[in-house]
Structure 1
């Protein structure tokens, strides 16, 4: 999974997956007794995780650790290519795995044994208030802006993401300001597009993964920012369900994590709300019309 920054997009996750060997073990083996909740994390990936434990996934891990009666320990590795291979599936002869769970993966991500989902979010449009876009309440509203106004906007996006596909679909490629998905600088983080460039007026709007949009829009105090969740449409998927990932072959551990997802759902939802994550339901998923 492309742990460059947790899930800027499903494309980010799948980019990392391409570098990992497929796992084929069956979920049948009993895991060893747990002495700690050992979490694989990116050390600089807010709003999801960081070494200070200030991310969404750190908070949820704390909840799970308390419920299990276990201390929480982290194994940190930058979420670049081969994150899963270098964390969850990293094992030297005679040594144990360094961590046992990834707190956020897209449902269907095949490099891990993914749990049931614990939230659904979507990409979101973020823009400053009071600069001519306040009437925009949806993606359709944005597309219906006066063509002259729309043609002058600078829209920040991560390249090879659903946002870039959306601009292409609606003939707005020239308005896009692309940012690279991969960045070798370990201090770079995905929210810079909002917290630095959008806030400074270098771009007029940004389209990013919902948790990133909500969290960094809260952090920017001036100008005030609006977050508009975007619905999936034919040719562009914006919404994704997020799960947790464990190793293949650890069926009982996976069942225990799924039980925690159920029993701690109220706490999970409170954390997501606290971080400004735009939570959406299945109405945001595109459904082809019945023939």
Structure 2
């Protein structure tokens, strides 16, 4: 009997210990879907919740039965450190998810991708490019025409490498990729400069190209998605990011990515995002 009592006591202690461990590991109850965002980064996010990521967050919040709140910080240097990883002593993290990060981004625990886009050429009519429907069409255009173009691009982007590879460096008009001005936004290259004729074309990330070309009513701008080629990667898969160690939260978000895929695709289409498939990737065989 004594041995039975000891065994029962050990079993009780084990059960209590296991329950305590489960309680310690259980994530706190969420009161809101707390999103880390850039306050001025259309088409992705802004303080008026008008961006792609804002709209997807609303879909997720509704599915979770939670209000959506935002913690804003300019998406320049140290964005993750100042948002998703930011925590003062005795306080909670201010936000729990970044709605858009490149697949493979190692500063966060990355979810499965939810779309693939690619860099795109955007051009104004009447510049000798009206026939261009693909990147190959552009490169086959008369070199005398290409040599006269002013092509806007962000420095250190695949666009600059592409122009260099094809002997068009002199046609490039570089823009600073990191700007300290909080009022600056990536789409200015299209909405301000291309629209008024300061440049004739631009090569920018697809969501930026599609959204701002659609927003410019005159002139009517053409968007040409570009395929990656040896030495130049244009296409990238986009995912979401959570903190490392939050496995259950990541799995929950991945479940939403899958179950809400039709709504996500509809939002991307509404924003003019050129969503592409793997055929735009570099061929390895």
TM-score for both structures, normalised by structure 2: 0.91
Which has the bigger relative contact order, CA under 8 A and spacing at least 6? 1
The correspondence for 1:65, drawn from 56, 61, 64, is: 61
Write the mapping of 1:191-270 to structure 2, written as runs, cut at 5 A. Answer: 191-270=187-266
Residue 41 (structure 1) aligned with residue 41 (structure 2): no
Q: State how far apart, in whole Å, the 2-side matches of 1:237 and 1:132 are.
A: 26
| Matches for 1:1-291 after TM superposition, within 5 Å | 30-289=26-285
Residue 218 of structure 2 aligns to a residue in which SS?
A: coil
| Backbone CA RMSD of aligned residues | 1.0
Secondary structure in 1 matching 2:228: coil
Q: Which of structures 1 and 2 has the bigger CA Rg?
A: 2
Spell out, residue by residue over 1:199-236, the C-alpha distance to the aligned partner (whole angstroms, 9 max, x if none): 01000100000000000000101100000000000000
Runs of 5+ unmatched residues, structure 1: 1-28
Shift of 1:130: 3.6
How far is 1:30 from its partner? Answer: 4.3
Given that 1:30 and 1:250 are in contact with CA atoms closer than 8 Å, whether structure 2 keeps it comes out as no
Number of the residue aligned with 1:15: none
Query: C-alpha separation between the residues in 2 aligned to 1:155 and 1:31?
Result: 50
Per the alignment, in what secondary structure is the counterpart of residue 257 of structure 2? helix
3-state SS, counterpart of residue 161 of structure 2: helix
Structure 2 residue matching 1:95: 3-state secondary structure: coil
CA distance in 1: counterparts of 2:259 and 2:213, whole angstroms: 30
Choose between structure 1 and 2: higher helix proportion: 2
Distance 1:41 1:67 in 2: 20
Structure 2 portions without partners, runs of 5+: 1-24
Q: 1:199 and 1:151 mapped to 2: Cα distance?
A: 20
Question: Structure 2 CA distance, aligned partners of 1:165 and 1:146?
Answer: 20
> Offset of 1:135 from its aligned partner?
0.6
Give the direction of change, closer, same or farther, for the CA distance of 1:30–1:281 in structure 2 (3 Å limit). Answer: farther
Q: SS of the residue aligned with 1:177?
A: strand
Aligned length: 262
Deviations 1:45-80 (A, max 9, x none): 000000000000000000000000000000000011
Moved over 3 A (4+): none
Render the CA deviation track for 1:174-213: whole Å, top value 9, x for unaligned.
1100000110110000000000000010001000000000
Which whole-Å CA distance do the structure 1 matches of 2:28 and 2:164 have between them?
49
